[in-house]
Chains A and B, each alone.
Chain A
Amino acid sequence: MPNLNDILITLPEFYLVAAACVLLLADAFLPAAKRVWIHWLSILVLVVAAYLVVKGQPAGSVTAFNGSFIRDGVAEILKVFALLSTILVFIYARPYLIDRKLFVGEFYTLTIFAVIGVMLLVSAGSLVMVYLGLELLTLSSYALVALNRDSKLSSEAAIKYFVLGALASGMLLYGMSMVYGATGTLDLVQLHQAIPQSTMPHLLVFGLIFMIIGIAFKLGAAPFHMWIPDVYQGAPTAVTAFIGSAPKLAAFGMAFRLLETGMGDYSQHWQLMLAVLAVLSLAIGNLVAIVQTNLKRLLAYSTISHMGYLLLGLVNAGPEGYSAAMFYAVSYALMSTAAFGVIIALSRAGFECEEIDDFKGLNQRSPWMAFLMMLALFSLAGVPPMFGFFAKLLVLQAAIHAGMMWLAIVGAVFAIIGLYYYLHVVKVMYFDKPVEGTEVRLQSDFTLRLALSLNALVLLALGLYWGPLLSWCKQAFVG
């Protein structure tokens, strides 16, 4: 029987649901001149949610609602950073949305519902909750991608995302039904216990394969990456910034819950599958990114390669690998919000500033923005002493400790190949002559500039002082 204690454990989620509904109504009844309040209220709502997550964190792991919901250290870290990156996205999004007449309350409510999906997904304690959390997240994302409904590119991206997403959800469900058929339980912890006694190991492996396809699709790992470039390019940049951050944390959380909490006993089966996905993602992501001329598309392919690195951590299938992968997911979320933040800061209505050529000679026009972009790109490339460097180092180390030296070597080689296209953008910004007629007019929004500067500088700061975050991540997987 659910009781008050269950609600206390799930308080951050319940609070966010209530707050999202209030925001929805507030948006409907506020006069047009005061609509901008929704923006500040949404940020406040997320800050309070982050406070509730940290404040109410129990020691160790507790479950609520008959094991449907797990609240532990892993969920805490993922939730905190998902909320943090969403706050950043909201700050970056406001001037962008106002400029393009896309400033609607639905952007905020849908994003908050997506964040609720992220939080439920990373706390999922049963197969049903994994599926429902995922659907809540992706359904909101489809709508967000299509938010600019007069743009053909956006609509196309949304349709592609929707169709492929539905297919992937179907695969995931199919896999889950097989696992349920073989073990007779939906609860992930009971599943873990039931697996050794199962009389149908082949059926379990089949289910596992389908679930991994679902996970790979949500991560955007090759060969299930087809939607990523189109969605990243077609979605409004503010939405792309969101899709590149919190949902990646959720995908890691989902992979961890399904593979470790649920199918941990079958790690010898899924390790190699993940290794193959990782190699393909690294190759496709890094090689195809080289020929891109659109920065959003380039960042999309770079996402694919980053998911490859994240999988390197998961391949380890031990606390070291999981903490490395989570560290990587967190670093990726912060790096990608910074990179998309710069694109937003430089764009204005009618000029999206998403071609690499638009960045020519940025240093002469806005040295500070060029510097921030350089920090973000160096971090994405994994140049020491940036945040991304240590994240890459940790996942490579995890792969080596898993006894997969070859995988670590592949990872290192592709990191060097990847360096090329990031440095190419930096070269364009610093050494190319600006093209006439593409004057950069910076967004004058103060909060955006402040948040963006902080975001990019944090990448440097965490690169120099990464100990506390890493020990926090490691702590989550102890015991």
Chain B
Amino acid sequence: MIDPSVFQLVCFYAFAAVTVIAALSVITLRNSVQAVLSLVLAFFSTACIWMLAEAEFLAIALIVVYVGAVMVLFLFVVMMLDIDQEKLREGFVKYLPVGLIVAVVMLVEMLGLIGVRVMHTQTMGVNPATAAGMSNTAWLGMALYTQYLLPFEVAALILTVGVIAAVALTLRQRTGVRHQQASEQVAVKASDRVRIIKMAAERPVDSQPASAQESKS
């Protein structure tokens, strides 16, 4: 029988490793579609880590919003881009070893300074949701609308600014564009479109072919 806490630790390291590898491949893969797919994997394994931390709502939101909506949109955009693969490869191999060395040295230095041991001493804190005796989602809602109300509202402001900026930078009011006007189309009456004129039932035969010939010559 495996101890649940050990199992949890193993799961955490597995998910964390997948996250890091996926994040690395986002920036190293040359094919941008593959890079987006790795980002999806990175998000997914992050969601798994959050699940381990009993933050179910955040985990589900990450998958539904980011993986489901944002990343699919990203994929569409990336697939539509006409990227010259050859150009991207230039310089990549040349700089890769240097970049890797710098990254590894930085990682070793940081681990050396902060210490791996420290990370084990800090266990996950008391889950405030279980402490308050409610579900994670309910607790999150409570915290968001009471303790963190102001940051929540400011985040909404930032989104508003994003909308205003997008409109200000891309909307071009062109003149002379022909629009459909649905209301006019619906309100149209037969008398506006169809004109009934009285005509003689039979057209008198005249010398039309002759005149046409004349005009041609």
Contacts and interface: CB of A to CB of B under 8 A. Distances in A.
A66 B147 contact: yes
Nearest to B147: A66
Interface stretch (A129-137, A245-253, A333-341, A353-361): A129-137
B69 interface: no
Given A136-B157, A184-B125, A143 B165 contact: yes
A184 B162 CA distance: 31
B164 A109 contact: yes
B164 A104 contact: no
A47 interface: no
B149 interface: yes
Nearest to B125: A184
Interface in B154-193: 154-155, 157-158, 160-162, 164-165, 167-169
B63 to A, nearest CB: 21
Interface stretch (A195-203, A392-400, A430-438): A195-203
Interface in B83-138: 110, 113-115, 118, 121-122, 125
Residue from B158, B161, B164, B168 having most chain A Cβ neighbours under 10 A? B161
B5 interface: no
Contacts of B161: 110, 113, 136, 139-140, 143
Contact of A110 (B146, B147, B165): B165
Given A66-B147, A146-B169, A147-B168, A139 B162 contact: yes
The majority secondary structure among interface residues of chain B is helix
B155 A132 contact: yes
Contact of B164 (A64, A110, A126): A110
A19 B61 CA distance: 33
A136 B158 contact: yes
Nearest to B149: A2
A207 B154 CA distance: 24
Given A68-B151, A206-B110, A143 B164 contact: yes
A200 B119 CA distance: 9
Contacts of B118: 199-200, 202-203
A17 B160 CA distance: 11
Contacts of B146: 1-2, 66
Interface in B138-157: 146-151, 154-155, 157
A187 B78 CA distance: 40
B111 to A, nearest CB: 10
Interface in B5-31: none
Contacts of A129: 150-151, 154
Given A113-B161, A139-B161, A64 B150 contact: yes
B168 A104 contact: yes
B74 to A, nearest CB: 16
Given A1-B146, A106-B164, A199-B121, A132 B169 contact: no
A4 to B, nearest CB: 13
A65 B150 contact: yes
A149 B171 CA distance: 11
A50 interface: no
A184 B155 CA distance: 22
Given A68-B148, A143-B169, A132 B114 contact: no
A462 to B, nearest CB: 33
A421 interface: no
A143 B163 CA distance: 11
Given A65-B150, A135-B158, A203 B114 contact: yes
A139 B155 CA distance: 12
B89 to A, nearest CB: 22
A110 B168 CA distance: 10
A113 B154 CA distance: 11
A140 B114 CA distance: 37
A337 B155 CA distance: 30
A273 B102 CA distance: 22
Interface string A205-240: 010000000000000000000000000000000000
A10 B168 contact: no
A128 interface: yes
5 contacts: A1-B146, A68-B150, A132-B155, A139-B161, A181-B122
Given A2-B150, A129-B150, 5 more contacts: A21-B160, A68-B150, A68-B151, A109-B164, A135-B158
Interface of A: 1-2, 10, 17, 21, 24, 64-66, 68-69, 104, 106, 109-110, 113, 116, 120, 126, 128-129, 132-133, 135-136, 139-140, 142-143, 146-147, 149, 181, 184, 199-200, 202-203, 206
